[in-house]
Structure 1
Amino acid sequence: MGALDVSKVVDKHQGWRLITCNWLHGGVFHILANMLSLLVIGIRLEQEFGFIRVGLLYIISGFGGSLLSALFIQSNISVGASGALFGLLGSMLSELITNWTIYTNKIAAFLTLVVIIAINLAVGILPHVDNFAHIGGFISGFLLGFVFLIRPQFGWVEQRYALSGYSALSRRKFKTYQCILWIVSLVLVIVGLTLSLVMLLRGVDANDHCSWCHYLSCVPTSRWSCRTEPAFCSTTQDGNQLNVTCSSNGKSNLYILSNPSSSQIQSLCTELCS
């Protein structure tokens, strides 16, 4: 269907899976938990900023989460809207920062958000949870919040609504730091997503460049293991015929493939051994 399967994204050019996986879930509890979170987080943002800006933020954050997940977790299939939801959480934090001057009780709001985000990210170190999607979505949403959720500074009045004798030019619409954050964040989002997509399509495994990053998604303890048992197969190539034999169950199959890539072989092996 539309789940995030890295081998199909890279080898079969099904890049749309980076988006569609955000609308699929692994069961009733999974979708109910995500939809409840979306109601709690999304309604407030949509009421204040409109469905277009929040919708774009949601979709792009989900895309960013899928990219980071695909770069680090290439042997498993991933589904769920958690990356996009973490993007909304990240945007709430950046929205508070960029619109800092218009809020009251800002310190309490900031600390509350940080604690909520930290707890949710900490849950991601449990096994079978794709925390890379959470982290990628959060980073994307955090940066996009500076772009999409910027507000005019307190006291600014649009010229057409200004009272007679009131100089609307006495205050600029946005503060200097808001403009700087807007530019820097936009550049980082574009560069980050572009580089990540290029790396993914070139078949880069980010774990080869970061030996400790896997701990961000799962930390092994005495109570659980983070190992996902890989499938092992023996292969023989005769012309355009590829014979694959699963080492664990002895099943064998013949495929018509010439010059198959390693990811294609691994995908066939996983299917054969399952």
Structure 2
Amino acid sequence: MPGDDDIESREGTVKRNSYNNDDDNNNNRSSVYASSSTYVIVDTDSQWTSWLVPMVVVANVSVFVVVMYVNNCSDHRHTRLAGNCVATFLGRFSFEPLRENPLFGPSSSTLNKLGALEWTKVVINHQGWRLITCIWLHAGIIHLLVNMLSLVFIGIRLEQQFGFVRVGIIYLLSGFGASVLSSLFNRNNISVGASGALFGLLGAMLSELITNWSIYTNKAAALFSLLIIIAINLAIGILPHVDNFAHIGGLITGFLLGFVLLCRPQFGSLERENLPAGTPFKSNYKPYQYALWLVSVVLLVVGLTVASVMLFRGENGNDHCRWCRYLTCVSTSRWDCNEN
């Protein structure tokens, strides 16, 4: 369980359209955002300085630059005319033709070469490292931009309240859980992006709200708003070319990690300071918090272990869950999921 932190407050708005995030500026500690998705907690003056999230953003941008350098669209003369590349004035950093990549980015072959998630390479070729490297790759500059904006608006707030260690663990493990579930159900396409890790942060926000319920103001509004945000983003995930299994895997992993890593004591340090000297201070975690912590640890260990074993044994998740394919794509008159 975490140490006895002072009760802190985080007031924020988190909205994501596929990965988009809208945030208002911080007001004073008792203010409430005039938004439908208000996330309000009690406040304290002490906060960690956020440096991990900015470093992750810089790392993702740097990796994208390297990917574009390696891609070198303007040099693909054996497969296409250089003039077909987008923004040719960028030289070897120019983007692939929009008919191949509408997100202004590299080719799928370049992403695959540099660590994209692909079932064949992970399972058959034993390249398990792709479960992590895919988190740092993005399909295009639009994909990168919306993911990094989401990370800034969600991650900085969490890091300020809980520190870089806990947020970093949630981010990486959620990304790993997203990759494992995606690989179990998605064998036909490659997958890249930090969206699974970002859904993990959203899931952690939800479980943190639940386990620290008594220190929140506007509890019902905060819970309802967060559930609506998650539901909307999962609904967007049924569109073609969106890997909703990664979103779901990251969300579940982050949700469980939130109970483990983001649990707060229910009383602040000011109450300890007011106790007479020498008075023993009883732990102020509630029994339900210990129970949620224990159950979440067990589910995390068992879930990730079983899913990983199934994956590397070459099992197909769709064989165990016939209807699960509808979680990531629903065929309509406008598109056929079998073609994506």
Bucket of the pairwise TM-score, normalised by the shorter protein: 0.7 to 0.9
**Are 2:312 and 1:201 aligned?**
yes
Distance 2:118 2:324 in 1: 20
Q: Match of 2:121, as an amino acid?
A: K
1:19-65 deviation line (CA, Å, top 9, x unaligned): 11000000000000100110111111000000110000000000000
1:173-200 deviation line (CA, Å, top 9, x unaligned): 3100000000000110010001000000
**Are 2:225 and 1:97 aligned?**
no
Q: TM-score of the superposition, structure 2-length normalised?
A: 0.64
SS at match of 1:227: helix
For 1:143-162, list aligned pairs within 5 A.
143-155=256-268, 161=273
Distance 1:166 1:102 in 2: 27
**Are 2:294 and 1:183 aligned?**
yes
The structure with the greater share of residues assigned to strand is 1
The match for 2:321 is 210
Equivalent of residue 16 in structure 1, options 115, 125, 129: 129
CA positional deviation for 1:143? 0.4
Distance 2:140 2:268 in 1: 49
Equivalent of residue 164 in structure 1, options 276, 282, 287: 276
For 1:58-97, list aligned pairs within 5 A.
58-97=171-210
Give runs of ≥4 in structure 1 deviating > 4 Å. Answer: 155-159
CA positional deviation for 1:3? 0.6
Distance 1:46 1:212 in 2: 37
CA-atom RMSD in angstroms: 1.6
Question: Is the CA contact 1:83–1:133 (under 8 Å) kept in the aligned structure 2?
Answer: yes
The match for 1:220 is 331
Question: Is the CA contact 1:72–1:206 (under 8 Å) kept in the aligned structure 2?
Answer: yes
Distance 1:32 1:155 in 2: 38
Name the CA shift for 1:119/1:168 in 2 (closer, same or farther; >3 Å).
Answer: farther
Question: Is the CA contact 1:156–1:172 (under 8 Å) kept in the aligned structure 2?
Answer: no
Name the CA shift for 1:167/1:100 in 2 (closer, same or farther; >3 Å).
Answer: farther
Name the CA shift for 1:158/1:51 in 2 (closer, same or farther; >3 Å).
Answer: farther
Distance 1:217 1:72 in 2: 10
CA positional deviation for 1:227? 1.3
Question: Is the CA contact 1:156–1:173 (under 8 Å) kept in the aligned structure 2?
Answer: no
Q: Match of 2:117, as an amino acid?
A: L
The match for 1:115 is 228
Distance 2:141 2:251 in 1: 24
Distance 1:117 1:68 in 2: 18
Structure (1 or 2) with the larger CA radius of gyration: 1
Distance 1:108 1:65 in 2: 28
SS at match of 1:15: coil
SS at match of 1:36: helix
SS at match of 1:164: coil
Structure 1: stretches of 5+ with no match in the other structure: 230-274
Matched residues, number: 227
Question: Is the CA contact 1:162–1:168 (under 8 Å) kept in the aligned structure 2?
Answer: no
CA positional deviation for 1:121? 0.4
Distance 1:42 1:228 in 2: 35
The match for 1:52 is 165
Question: Is the CA contact 1:101–1:154 (under 8 Å) kept in the aligned structure 2?
Answer: no
Distance 1:38 1:98 in 2: 23
Q: Match of 1:191, as an amino acid?
A: V
Question: Is the CA contact 1:90–1:145 (under 8 Å) kept in the aligned structure 2?
Answer: yes
CA positional deviation for 1:156? 5.9
Name the CA shift for 1:38/1:32 in 2 (closer, same or farther; >3 Å).
Answer: same
CA positional deviation for 1:154? 2.1
Give the % identical residues. 67
1:95-153 deviation line (CA, Å, top 9, x unaligned): 00000011111111000100000000000000100000000000000000000100011
The match for 2:47 is none
Distance 1:87 1:158 in 2: 33
